[in-house]
DNA sequence: GCCGTTTTCGGCCCGACTGTTTTCAGTCG
């Protein structure tokens, strides 16, 4: 899709504008457009064709014209013109923490530094220290920042233990009365870049608490430290913010810490329209003489004329407008889940026995579970063959006598390079639930990849597409797919799309589910290989909640009877 | 550059920390 290229070019334009010192509002306009486009899952080139670009808030005449050019030519004349003044490479300097547009511009103008390598060289030769305002301390800070440049995003499940551990330690200090984790962590995003701690304490303890925070053993560097706000770097390169407030600001502070920034900005703008002022301390009247609400988030939202908005929805995606009309979705919860449709046993690459997996699902209180071991030629997964399948079937027949839970005997099969399924229809038609997934050739072009799945959808015995985009946060990006085509065909063929709840996958992504939930049939599968993996369901629930899903949108919220009727 | 239930022009969220700026610009969230 074109979208990534458009977003990249607009980002580059914003960066260059910042370096050459353009109006902050113009820069903000470009950044806002980027944010808006990040939420768009349709193909931008289609929006251009249909003339719908300007329907997106934040995109007006000038930016839509620029997008038009990017879509048609693959490049931006405007950006090319800008880069005659400042080479594009200079924007890379802004990736260094503490260096913004102004500093990057100075480095280029005064020393001709264009890249991080050039910056390192200028530090080594002492050229940088000759520049005014570049003191020894500041240069040291830049050096450390360069060392830690690689700040990627981490899958939320991977950071949860560390985050709760830090919270526990902060509480143990006895210097704080309450510690919450806000930010994208609280919004339950699939990945997080940093952690935002929101704490409550007594003013006389603020400084001691900050000192305690910066001296924790997990902290390897202190980025900034004050009485009210401190930023540190953890051993894993992740930044952690701690904001301390007094008890009366708990709600307003948590709201501020949780974000998303676009959500907060929308709320503050709304407050201003109502002749009010909103900051992390509270909601005030215009001249700040009177505090109107601050103790709980509910109070602040109520003060702005809306109901409480669950953190997962706070992205400025229409949740504020919905809350004002009291029309927020009744988000799906773990209690709504009636079963799991994607699991493995040690008949293939799972680590638990068939009995353990079935009884484990029953322990979860679920009504049903589908056992979907691998079948096929890809030896990595220790797949079933006909003989092993028959043996499993026999064992399953005995086990179902011992348990209350309903068991679907299913398979996970490979979509090979051509999109074909190599398992015979005689075998497939005997199965209760068949998931087809891509396990090889991840790097084909979008059109071929899409066609591959469309071909698989032609197989009348395929019930679902497993981990549809193939992304793994620690390994590879998603392969490009045309989801409007795929969703359409899925509906036609009654084939379901999976939200794979594996921590490293969380696939399909919440942005896609947000768009597809009314157009396609979607379920959450844990892809469990151990009994404890059933707990992965929570990551799938997160994705669904962030996508505004109610239980009606997720098929494994159906009772077993209803589910059976739905399966083709 | 975007936007409009006071505005098609004149605004644009708000505040903390850093550095050397003796009153504020730059950066960040």
User: A421 and A509: one domain?
Assistant: yes
Looking at residue A224, the DSSP 8-state letter turns out to be E
Rounded Cα gap, residues A6 and A104, in angstroms: 24
Q: Quick one: A440 and A532 in the same domain?
A: yes
Q: What is the b/e burial string over A186-199, where b = at least 16 CB atoms within 10 angstroms of the residue's CB?
A: bbbbbebebbbbbb
Asked if A22 and A126 sit in the same domain, the reply is: yes
The conformational region for residue A407 under phi > 0 = left, psi -120 to 50 = alpha, else beta, is beta
Q: How confident is the model at residue A307 (pLDDT cuts 50, 70, 90)?
A: very high
Q: How far is residue A370's CA from residue A435's CA, in Å, rounded to a whole number?
A: 10
Residues A141 and A279 in one domain: no
CA of residue A257 to C1' of nucleotide B21, angstroms: 30
pLDDT for A147 equals: 85
Among A219, A245, A271, give the residue marking a domain's end. Answer: A245
Residues 6+ apart with CB under 8 A from A363: A531
d(CA A377, CA A354): 21
Tell me: pLDDT of A1 over 80.
no
Q: Which of A311, A263, A260, A303 is nearest to A284 (CA)?
A: A303
- Which whole number is the average pLDDT over A266-289? 91
Return the DSSP state at A286: T
The distance (Å) linking the CA of A142 with the C1' of B22 is 26
Residue where one domain finishes, among candidates A122, A149, A176: A149
- Assess whether pLDDT exceeds 80 at residue A151: no
pLDDT of residue A379: 85
Q: Is A212 in the same domain as A274?
A: no
Let me know if residue A253 belongs to a domain: no
Tens digit of each residue's pLDDT (9 = 90 or more) over A450-478 = 999 999 999 999 999 999 999 999 888 88
**Among chain A residues 242-261, those with CB within 7 Å of any atom of strand B:** 259, 261
pTM to 2 decimal places: 0.91
Residue with tokens 């511009």: A105
One domain, residues A52 and A110: yes
Q: Which nucleotide is nearest to A269 (CA to C1')?
A: B13
**Whether residues A143 and A212 fall in one domain:** no
Give mean pLDDT, residues A40-60. 90
Which residue has tokens 């079963």? A339
pLDDT at A288: 86
Same domain, A286 and A217: no
In a domain, A309, yes or no: yes
Residues A348 and A460 in one domain: yes
- CA A314 to C1' B26 (Å) is 29
Domain boundary among A108, A126, A149: A149
Contact indicator for A241, A194 with CB cutoff of 8 Å? yes
Collapsing DSSP states into helix, strand and coil, what is residue A289? coil
Mean pLDDT of A308-324: 95
* A252 found inside a domain: no
| CATH code (residue A79) | 1.10.150.110
pLDDT at position A179, please?
Answer: 98
Residue nearest to nucleotide B16 (CA to C1'): A229
- Please name the residue whose C-alpha is nearest to the C1' of nucleotide B28: A98
Residue A307 structural domain:
259-324
Q: How would residue A72 be classed by pLDDT, with cut points 50, 70 and 90?
A: very high
Q: Give domain status of residue A364, yes or no.
A: yes
Nucleotide in closest CA–C1' contact with A241: B29
Residue nearest to nucleotide B1 (CA to C1'): A26
pLDDT band for A408, please (50, 70, 90 cuts). very high
When pLDDT is averaged across residues A488-504 and rounded to a whole number, the result is: 97
Residue spans of beta strands (DSSP E) within A175-246: 176-181, 191-192, 195-201, 219-225, 229-234, 239-245
A415 and A467, same domain (yes or no): yes
Q: Could you identify the residue whose CA is nearest to the C1' atom of nucleotide B25? A: A102
pLDDT of residue A197 exceeding 90, the answer is yes
Residue A250 lies in a domain: no
The proportion of chain A whose per-residue pLDDT surpasses 70, expressed as a percent, equals 100
Asked if strand B comes closer than 7 Å to A421 Cβ, the answer is no
Number of H helices, E strands in chain A: 23, 17
Residue A140 CA: distances (Å) to CA of A120, A126, A217:
11, 12, 22
Strand residue runs (E) in A325-438: 339-340, 368-375, 406-414, 433-437
Banded model confidence at residue A506, pLDDT cuts 50, 70, 90: very high
Chain A residues 179-208 within 7 Å (CB) of strand B: 183, 194, 196
CA–CA separation, A543 and A510 (whole Å)? 5
Three-state DSSP at A183 gives helix
Q: What is the pLDDT of residue A286?
A: 84
pLDDT value at position A8? 93
pLDDT band of residue A560 (cuts 50, 70, 90) is very high
Q: For residues A339 and A224, state if they share a domain.
A: no
Mean pLDDT, rounded, of chain A:
94
Q: What is the CATH number of the domain that holds A429?
A: 3.20.20.140
Domain count along chain A: 4
Q: How far is CA A422 from the centre of its chain?
A: 34
- Chain A window 108-167: residues with CB closer than 7 Å to nucleic chain B are 133-135, 137-138, 141
Residue A356: predicted pLDDT:
97
Task: For residue A187, give every residue at least 6 positions away whose Cβ sits within 8 Å of its Cβ, in sequence order, or none.
Answer: A258, A259, A260, A311, A312, A314, A315, A546
* Strand nucleotide closest to residue A230 (CA to C1'): B17
Q: Is residue A266 part of a domain?
A: yes
The nucleotide lying nearest A256 (C-alpha to C1') is B29
Q: Given pLDDT bands bounded at 50, 70 and 90, which one contains residue A149?
A: confident
Nucleotide B18: nearest residue by CA–C1'? Answer: A224
Nearest nucleotide (C1') to alpha carbon of A138: B19
- Those nucleotides of strand B lying less than 7 Å from any protein Cβ are 1-3, 11-20, 25-29
- The distance (Å) linking the CA of A128 with the C1' of B22 is 26
Estimate in Å the CA A266 to C1' B3 gap, whole number: 14
Residue range A137-148, pLDDT digits in tens: 889 889 888 988
CB within 8 Å of A65: residues ≥ 6 apart: none
User: Do both A490 and A371 map to the same domain?
Assistant: yes
In this structure, the dihedral spanned by the alpha carbons of residues A424, A426, A428 and A432, taken in order and rounded to 10 degrees, is: -170
Confidence of residue A103 (pLDDT cuts 50, 70, 90): very high
Predicted confidence band of residue A152 (pLDDT cuts 50, 70, 90):
confident
Look at residue A131 in the predicted model and tell me its pLDDT: 87
* Average pLDDT value for residue range A279-304: 94
Cβ neighbours of A489 (radius 10 Å): 17
User: Distance between CA atoms of A353 and A475, rounded to whole angstroms?
Assistant: 28
Check which CATH number belongs to the domain holding A205 and give it.
3.30.460.10
The CA-to-CA distance between both ends of chain A, in Å, stands at 32
Helices (H), A234-335: 250-258, 261-273, 297-303, 319-324
Within a domain: A485? yes
Nucleotide nearest to A27 (CA to C1'): B1
Question: Would residue A85 count as lying in a domain?
Answer: yes
Residues 494-523 of A with CB under 7 A from strand B: none
Nucleotide nearest to A58 (CA to C1'): B2
User: At CB < 8 A and 24+ separation, what contacts does A49-58 make?
Assistant: A58/A29, A58/A32, A58/A33
Mean pLDDT, rounded, for A280-302: 93
| Residue A150 pLDDT > 80 | no
Q: Where would I find the beta strands (DSSP E) of A304-349? A: 339-340
User: Is residue A336 pLDDT above 80, yes or no?
Assistant: yes
């Amino acid at each position: 899709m074109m979208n990534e290229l458009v977003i990249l070019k607009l980002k580059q334009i914003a960066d260059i504008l910042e370096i050459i010192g353009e109006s902050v509002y113009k820069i903000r306009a470009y950044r806002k457009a980027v944010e808006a486009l990040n939420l768009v899952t349709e193909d931008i080139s289609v929006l251009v064709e249909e003339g719908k670009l300007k329907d997106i808030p934040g995109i007006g005449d000038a930016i839509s014209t620029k997008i038009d050019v990017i879509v048609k030519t693959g490049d931006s004349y405007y950006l090319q013109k800008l880069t005659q003044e400042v080479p594009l490479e200079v924007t890379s300097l802004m990736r260094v923490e503490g260096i913004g547009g102004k500093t990057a511009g100075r480095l280029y103008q005064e020393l001709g530094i264009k890249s991080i390598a050039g910056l390192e060289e200028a530090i080594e030769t002492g050229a940088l220290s000759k520049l005014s305002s570049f003191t020894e301390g500041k240069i040291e800070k830049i050096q450390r920042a360069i060392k830690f440049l690689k700040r990627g995003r981490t899958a939320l499940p991977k950071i949860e233990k560390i985050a709760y551990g830090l919270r526990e330690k902060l509480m143990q200090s006895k210097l704080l009365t309450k510690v919450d984790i806000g930010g994208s962590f609280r919004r339950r995003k699939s990945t997080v870049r940093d952690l935002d701690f929101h704490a409550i304490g007594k003013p006389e303890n603020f400084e001691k608490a900050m000192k305690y925070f910066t001296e924790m053993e997990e902290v390897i560097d202190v980025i900034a430290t004050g009485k009210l706000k401190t930023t540190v770097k953890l051993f894993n390169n992740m930044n952690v913010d701690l904001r301390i407030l007094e008890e009366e600001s708990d709600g307003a502070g948590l709201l501020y810490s949780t974000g998303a920034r676009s959500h907060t900005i929308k709320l503050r703008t709304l407050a201003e329209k109502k002749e009010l002022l909103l900051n992390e301390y509270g909601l005030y009247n215009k001249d700040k003489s009177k505090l109107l609400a601050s103790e709980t988030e509910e109070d602040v939202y109520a003060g702005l004329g809306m109901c409480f908005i669950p953190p997962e929805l706070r992205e400025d995606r229409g949740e504020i407008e919905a809350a004002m009309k009291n029309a927020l979705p009744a988000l799906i919860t773990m209690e709504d889940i009636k079963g799991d449709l994607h699991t493995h046993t040690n008949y293939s690459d799972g680590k638990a026995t068939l009995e353990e997996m079935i009884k484990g699902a029953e322990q979860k209180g679920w009504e049903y579970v589908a056992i979907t071991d691998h079948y096929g030629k890809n030896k990595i997964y220790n797949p079933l063959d006909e003989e092993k399948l028959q043996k499993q079937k026999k064992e399953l027949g005995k086990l179902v006598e011992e348990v209350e839970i309903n068991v679907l005997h299913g398979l996970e099969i490979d979509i090979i390079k051509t999109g074909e399924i190599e398992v015979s229809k005689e075998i497939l038609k005997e199965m209760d639930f068949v998931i087809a997934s891509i396990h090889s050739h991840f790097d084909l072009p979008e059109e071929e990849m899409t066609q591959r799945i469309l071909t698989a959808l032609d197989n009348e015995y395929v019930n679902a597409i497993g981990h549809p985009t193939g992304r793994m946060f620690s390994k590879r990006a998603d392969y490009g797919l045309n989801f409007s085509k795929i969703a359409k065909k899925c509906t036609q063929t009654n084939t379901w799309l999976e939200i794979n709840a594996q921590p490293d996958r969380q696939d399909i992504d919440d942005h896609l589910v947000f768009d597809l939930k009314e157009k396609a049939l979607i379920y959450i599968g844990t892809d469990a290989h151990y009994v404890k993996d059933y707990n992965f369901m929570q990551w799938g629930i997160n994705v669904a909640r962030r996508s505004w899903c109610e239980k009606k949108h997720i098929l494994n919220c159906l009772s077993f009877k209803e589910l059976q009727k739905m399966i083709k």
